[in-house]
Chain A
Amino acid sequence: MLRFIFRRTLQMIPTLLAVVLIIFVIFSVVPGSFISSLMAEGRNATNADVMAHLNAQFGLDKPLPVRLWDYLWGLLHFDLGISYRTRSPVWDVIEPRLWPSIKLALAAMGFAAVVGIPLGFIAALKPGSLFDTSTMVLAISGLSVPEFWLGLLLMYFFALQLGWLPSFGYQADSIQHIILPAIALGVSPMALLARTTRAGVLDVMNADFVRTARAKGLTEPRLVRSHITRNVLVLILTTLGLQIGSLMGQAIVIEKLFSWPGIGSLLVDSVSVRDIPVVQGTVIVIVLWFLIINMLVDVAYAAIDPRIKVN
């Protein structure tokens, strides 16, 4: 098992390297740098000396391969460079944003799982029923609705009209602040979970071993509990993992809408002022989160089903 985890961790490295490379190359072809945008704003750096000094300070005068090498070398020491905007290490800018983002992702996923899985399960037990049809209508709607619009509507009804919840912002210990953004963000994974759970349960119900168990005279609740649930669990776990992994990236618009101080809003803000080191850093964090969650899912998977370790 340890060897499997080790191998799986090693497999992340090439992907991560490729991501860094792609992001690095994309931003090195940016036609205006942060420094030229300073100039355009007519702030300080209007003469050539100042520009040359700034370029040297941020290492922008070196050729691209050297900069890439420096960056990778820094990464190896957990050094993501210096933010253009705050002039402080990128990690110091990112770090306080991590926990709010993780909290939002987990809350959204919690909502999605608590609502989506039971809906899908119950729908599958009576396919074609009114409950099944309404669940599937709800699911396809959940997958089609723009989440920031949903967030805006939730904000309108529950915060502005009813005044039950705060409309935006973040407080470290406040559960009230996280409810609306978590629901807005969780609706699409909820819909996906409902669909996958339903499809998975339907699949298992038609499997031979379930038919055998039923023929043996197993009671329906027992059948659901010990045969169906256990077999659908792997599928649910995979969907859940993939969703949590990509949620941090999906959250950017919701974070922006609710002024949530997470990784996503940091990314958007950094893009708009061309603070490239922070943009690179946030993208790396988002990808790393995805890769780590995926690895954990694979490990959990291997623990449930030993056959997977072999491949």
Chain B
Amino acid sequence: MRPLDPRLLRHARAARGYVALTAALGVLTAALVVAQALLLARALGAAVSDGATLEVLAPTIVWLAVVVAVRTLVTATQERFAHRAATRTIAELREQVVAHAVALGPRWLASGEGPSVVTLATRGLDALEPYFVRYLPQLVLAATVTPGVLLVVLGLDWISAGILVVVIPLVPIFMVLVGRLTQGRSEQGLVAMQRLGTQVLDLLAGLPTLRAHGRERGPGARVRTLGDAHRQATMGTLRIAFLSGMVLELLTTLSVALVAVGIGLRLVEGHLDLVTGIAVLVLAPEVFLPLRQVGVQFHAAADGVAAAGRAFEVLETPLPPNGTRTAPDLRTATLRLDGVAVRTSGGCTPHGLDLVLPPGTVVALTGPSGVGKTTALEVVLGLLRPDDGRASIDGVDLAEIDLPSVWTQVSWLPQRPVLEPGTIAELVGGDEASRAAAAALTGLDAVLATLPDGWATSLGRGGAGLSLGQRQRVALTCTLLAATPLVVLDEPTAHLDAAGEQVVLDTVRALRHAGRTVLLVAHRPSLVAVADDVVHVRSTAAVLA
């Protein structure tokens, strides 16, 4: 694990100012630690060896109080800004990751690393908080207090400094060792934990199904077995991780003990005065304290750094270059696919797809499930680049076109309609008369009749409050009222019965009547029948014929 990934500073603005502040406070802390030790040694030394009274010590004690007060302030300031910086940095990274993942498109999100982005964006990045609040400040102190105090000890008593200097290089060596041993293992541990998590969740999510089959009792033992396996794996990791931590602690504590014994013996022989002895004794642990804290916070921070690393991986996944040319007007332009193929695990779905979409026509894509019909739609919409072949509008390759200029001309109704939150009227748009006419056609009027608030019914995110079939009707009405030249419908009759199917047929006819181009995926012959042209999609993958 890199202590401070420069990419963090590059990607998160909030992190930069905070690192600077922490560094400044770190230097100040080093000075205060030294001042406190020297003042304390002076006061205590005088009291122990010379029997000094409070009156004599008063100035020293006052200065000591001042140092204590300033250290209090520094600590508070650090804490005050650490939380803020952490939250803002997490927010900045989250936005960038989500925006980048969205730009990478639905296909990327559904494959490989894609699904884990959800966890990363919603929860994973939160692990950066302990990194910022606890780890980073200690890391800075290790870079300021440790060398600063060591120099002072060197000035006071070179023999003690010698002991510390011998031990200090061992600390980073063991830190690296801790890092080496734990990084691989903590990544493994994370994977094992996620696997356990999904397996247990899988059992719980399937519990209704298990109950339906009367088989819910057995897996209880499995949950326990999974848990025990996880505990044993984790303890194996911890035994090693903690072992390195112990050696680190032994080295530092033992060297402080050696310094104390050394000072004691030289005091007896009169080679050292008590004030110096006390100062060195107080300072010696301070040399190691930040290093030890870095070790303590290491695990919490490692998760944060791992999460940030995954975020950077997402951010560094190159986006397909966006075209710059404005899309031709789809009212007059013809979209076409020539020999398009998209490679998937099983082969090419679709394979060798030719499709011409002249303005004002209805074209149906047919073929067995799994052949790549939806994929073909994604290619048409520019969400997916074909691995082979070409998608173009009036001869201009889709890759060269600024996609948003295409999308403003398209209404897309995916298999599962995505509705904005808001009232149905807001969602559907249009004026009252056109709304009513469209609703009559799509059967939305019947749905509205069952809703007490009618058009003013508020829908939650994703259309919560309506059944899938009802959402489909809302989405169809939207499509009808949108003024886009191209309409893309993906299996619009799924989730609908025969009466619902009729509604879709009527809608498609109305769309054609309005001179709009329709591309639809159809299973049912009725839908195929309304199309001007039917394209049969083929694949080279083993699918159901």
Answer whether A and B are interacting partners.
Answer: no
Residues in A lying within 8 Å of B, measured CB to CB: none
